[in-house]
């Protein structure tokens, strides 16, 4: 088996810069798409760091999931070491082809599709809030397509020191076409349109170019990246799989998905404790984070309205419990601060965000306020008491929000100044 690739990345029409990164390494059979997010140029740094680290780790012999874990660590370290990059993150969907086998590693809401025998199937599961709601039966796939919160992702590289990587294996057949793409494609074009376009263009480069052009024609709201990998029998002429595929439209196989994500709790069919939607953190970039921020922005605005007459008094005597560097933290002050009175850290516990129930975590994301320190400490004691019991059962996967600068403001709030 050999691979004929086609690829293109494009800034689109709605963003000033292209924060997607692309990797096409034919010599080593490694291909990837990363969709970065963060203020200023941080998203670009995140996605570029991810694919560079992925490639070097892979070339040093690491399997793809380990290579992606290293990419996560590299993005995380860079974000932690530079205030201008704090909070950045990236998706990463990578394919390593070895002979007739493609192994995929995946984190985030970029996607991989397989076109086989004329039918297109999404290989990867999106790590996104709306996808989770669809799995829970709370949204239909149609509602998800245009949901205002569809850009909120629940897993990304660079957000935490460790990341859970989904892996998939596809045993390639001649004529298969694998597609990796960023959400700038899939938010603009339906799966049906993508499928029809893939079938229409036998040449992989022409297919990639056409998809990008169509996404731009549909609005081009975001950066658009597409990598197309055509699996050809050794010695085949290389005119792509689409013509052969189109001769058997609608036929699905489903046998390709041999290796489902092994330990992916949010894909489990059994009743697993699932996070509430409000617990999702926008590990996200400019356009994305604005939508995510609405969740906490309203309470902050309300607090400001209430306190306007007694700002200093109020801001200095109240407490709230929230997160700082992913740890449950007691703050003195008001979430978001009030007219110059920023909250200060009173005490940081060793209780991690992911040791909480989804409800508690959602509660703390915007800051749970208390009238006194002792009340707040009683609340923290209750969370600590719950931890042991929860440790055995909690399998949620929502990422913690980016750690805020210590001693300043709670998650999300720092985003407003970017
Ligand atoms: Mg994007």
Nearest partner of 69 among 162, 174, 169, 200, judged by Cα: 162
Q: Is the pLDDT of residue 224 over 80?
A: yes
Enumerate the H helices of 81-128 as residue ranges. Answer: none
Question: What is the average per-residue pLDDT within 21-29?
Answer: 96
Please give the pLDDT value at position 316: 63
The Å distance, Cα 205 to ligand 1 centre, comes to: 21
The Å distance, Cα 254 to ligand 1 centre, comes to: 28
pTM strictly above 0.75: no
The Å distance, Cα 202 to ligand 1 centre, comes to: 26
The Å distance, Cα 331 to ligand 1 centre, comes to: 34
Please give the pLDDT value at position 313: 59
DSSP label at residue 265? G
Please give the pLDDT value at position 308: 46
Q: Is the pLDDT of residue 204 over 70?
A: yes
Nearest partner of 349 among 321, 388, 315, judged by Cα: 321
Give 200 or 271, the one with higher predicted confidence.
200
Percentage of residues in the chain having pLDDT higher than 90:
47
CA angle, residues 312, 314, 319, in degrees to nearest 5: 120
CB atoms within 10 A of CB 159: 30
Range with lowest mean pLDDT among 30-39, 74-83, 360-369: 360-369
The Å distance, Cα 110 to ligand 1 centre, comes to: 8
Distance CA 143, CA 172 (A): 33
Please give the pLDDT value at position 318: 79
Nearest partner of 178 among 62, 72, 21, 30, judged by Cα: 30
Place of tokens 């040449």: 203
The Å distance, Cα 246 to ligand 1 centre, comes to: 30
Question: What is the average per-residue pLDDT within 149-159?
Answer: 87
CA angle, residues 8, 125, 112, in degrees to nearest 5: 25
The Å distance, Cα 23 to ligand 1 centre, comes to: 16
User: What are the respective helix, strand and coil percentages of the chain, to the nearest 5?
Assistant: 40, 25, 40
Give 406 or 197, the one with higher predicted confidence.
197
Give 68 or 368, the one with higher predicted confidence.
68
Please give the pLDDT value at position 341: 64
Q: Is the pLDDT of residue 187 over 80?
A: yes
Nearest partner of 65 among 92, 26, 29, 90, judged by Cα: 92
The Å distance, Cα 182 to ligand 1 centre, comes to: 6
What phi-psi label fits residue 118: left (phi over 0), alpha (psi between -120 and 50 degrees) or beta?
A: left
The Å distance, Cα 380 to ligand 1 centre, comes to: 37
Q: Is the pLDDT of residue 194 over 50?
A: yes
For the chain, give the mean pLDDT: 78
CB atoms within 10 A of CB 255: 10
- pLDDT band per the 50, 70, 90 thresholds, residue 25: very high
- Check if the beta carbon of residue 123 is closer than 8 Å to that of residue 112: yes
Nearest partner of 101 among 227, 201, 11, 3, judged by Cα: 3
Q: Is 331 helix (H, G, I), strand (E, B) or coil?
A: strand
Q: Is the pLDDT of residue 68 over 60?
A: yes
The tens digit of pLDDT for each residue in 327-377 reads: 898 888 877 776 556 677 788 888 888 888 888 888 898 888 888 888 888
Nearest partner of 334 among 312, 353, 349, 352, judged by Cα: 312
Question: What is the average per-residue pLDDT within 152-176?
Answer: 94
The Å distance, Cα 184 to ligand 1 centre, comes to: 5
- pLDDT band per the 50, 70, 90 thresholds, residue 197: very high
The Å distance, Cα 185 to ligand 1 centre, comes to: 8
- Check if the beta carbon of residue 93 is closer than 8 Å to that of residue 124: yes
How many alpha carbons fall within 13 Å on the CB side of residue 172? 27
Residue 169 neighbours by CB under 8 Å, 6+ apart:
101, 102, 103, 104, 258, 259
The Å distance, Cα 404 to ligand 1 centre, comes to: 23
Q: Is the pLDDT of residue 39 over 80?
A: no
Please give the pLDDT value at position 310: 53
- As given in the structure block, the two tokens for residue 255 are 């046998």
Please give the pLDDT value at position 417: 26
The tens digit of pLDDT for each residue in 102-149 reads: 999 999 999 999 999 999 999 999 998 888 888 888 888 888 877 777
Lateral strand order in the sheet of 327-332 = 344-352, 327-332, 319-324, 368-370
The Å distance, Cα 9 to ligand 1 centre, comes to: 11
Residue 362 neighbours by CB under 8 Å, 6+ apart:
275, 276, 278, 279
Please give the pLDDT value at position 260: 33
Give Cα separations from 30 to 10, 14, 142, 143 (angstroms). Answer: 20, 29, 33, 35
The Å distance, Cα 222 to ligand 1 centre, comes to: 6
The Å distance, Cα 35 to ligand 1 centre, comes to: 5
Range with lowest mean pLDDT among 8-12, 44-48, 151-155, 297-301: 297-301
Q: Is the pLDDT of residue 228 over 80?
A: yes
Range with lowest mean pLDDT among 84-98, 232-246, 307-321: 232-246
Nearest partner of 163 among 113, 200, 108, judged by Cα: 108
The Å distance, Cα 173 to ligand 1 centre, comes to: 30
The Å distance, Cα 15 to ligand 1 centre, comes to: 10
Residue 106 neighbours by CB under 8 Å, 6+ apart:
92, 93, 94, 112, 124, 125, 165, 166, 167, 168
The Å distance, Cα 105 to ligand 1 centre, comes to: 18
The Å distance, Cα 43 to ligand 1 centre, comes to: 10
- As given in the structure block, the two tokens for residue 263 are 């330990």
The Å distance, Cα 36 to ligand 1 centre, comes to: 7
Length of the chain: 418
Please give the pLDDT value at position 171: 96
Question: What is the average per-residue pLDDT within 282-293?
Answer: 38
Residue 237 neighbours by CB under 8 Å, 6+ apart:
none
Please give the pLDDT value at position 140: 87
Please give the pLDDT value at position 110: 97
- Check if the beta carbon of residue 272 is closer than 8 Å to that of residue 265: yes
């Amino acid at each position: 088996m050999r691979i004929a690739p086609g690829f293109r990345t494009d800034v689109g029409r709605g963003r000033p810069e292209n924060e997607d990164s692309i990797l096409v390494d034919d010599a080593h059979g490694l291909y990837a798409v990363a969709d970065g997010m963060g203020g200023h140029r941080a998203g670009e740094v995140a996605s570029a760091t991810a694919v560079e680290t992925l490639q070097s780790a892979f070339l040093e012999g690491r399997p793809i999931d380990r290579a992606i874990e290293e990419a996560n660590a590299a993005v995380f370290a860079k974000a932690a070491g530079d205030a201008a990059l704090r909070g950045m993150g990236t998706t990463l969907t990578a394919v390593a082809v070895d002979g007739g086998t493609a192994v995929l590693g995946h984190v985030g809401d970029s996607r991989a599709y397989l076109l086989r025998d004329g039918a297109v199937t999404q290989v990867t599961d999106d790590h996104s809030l709306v996808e989770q709601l669809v799995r829970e039966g709370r949204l239909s796939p149609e509602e998800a397509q245009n949901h205002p919160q569809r850009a909120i992702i629940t897993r990304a590289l660079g957000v935490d020191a460790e990341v859970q990587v989904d892996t998939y294996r596809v045993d390639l057949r001649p004529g298969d076409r694998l597609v990796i793409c960023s959400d700038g494609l899939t938010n603009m074009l339906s799966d049906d349109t993508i499928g029809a376009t893939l079938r229409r263009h036998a040449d992989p480069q022409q297919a990639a170019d056409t998809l990008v052009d169509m996404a731009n024609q549909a609005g081009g709201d975001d950066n658009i990246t597409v990598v197309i990998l055509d699996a050809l029998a050794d010695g085949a002429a290389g005119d792509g799989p689409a013509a052969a595929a189109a001769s058997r439209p609608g036929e699905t196989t489903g046998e390709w998905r041999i290796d489902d994500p092994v330990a992916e709790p949010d894909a489990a069919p059994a009743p697993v404790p699932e996070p509430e939607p409000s617990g999702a953190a926008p590990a996200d970039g400019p356009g994305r984070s604005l939508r995510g921020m609405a969740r906490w922005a309203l309470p902050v605005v309300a607090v400001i309205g209430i306190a306007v007459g007694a700002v200093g008094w109020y801001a200095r005597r109240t407490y709230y419990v929230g997160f700082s560097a992913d740890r449950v933290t007691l703050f003195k002050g008001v979430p978001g601060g009030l007219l110059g009175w920023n909250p200060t850290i009173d005490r940081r516990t060793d209780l991690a965000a992911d040791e909480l129930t989804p409800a508690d975590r959602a509660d703390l994301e915007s800051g749970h306020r208390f009238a006194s320190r002792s009340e707040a400490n009683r609340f923290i004691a209750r969370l600590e008491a719950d931890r042991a019991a929860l440790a055995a059962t909690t399998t949620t996967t929502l990422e913690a929000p980016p750690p805020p600068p210590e001693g300043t403001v709670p998650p999300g709030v720092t985003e407003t100044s970017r």
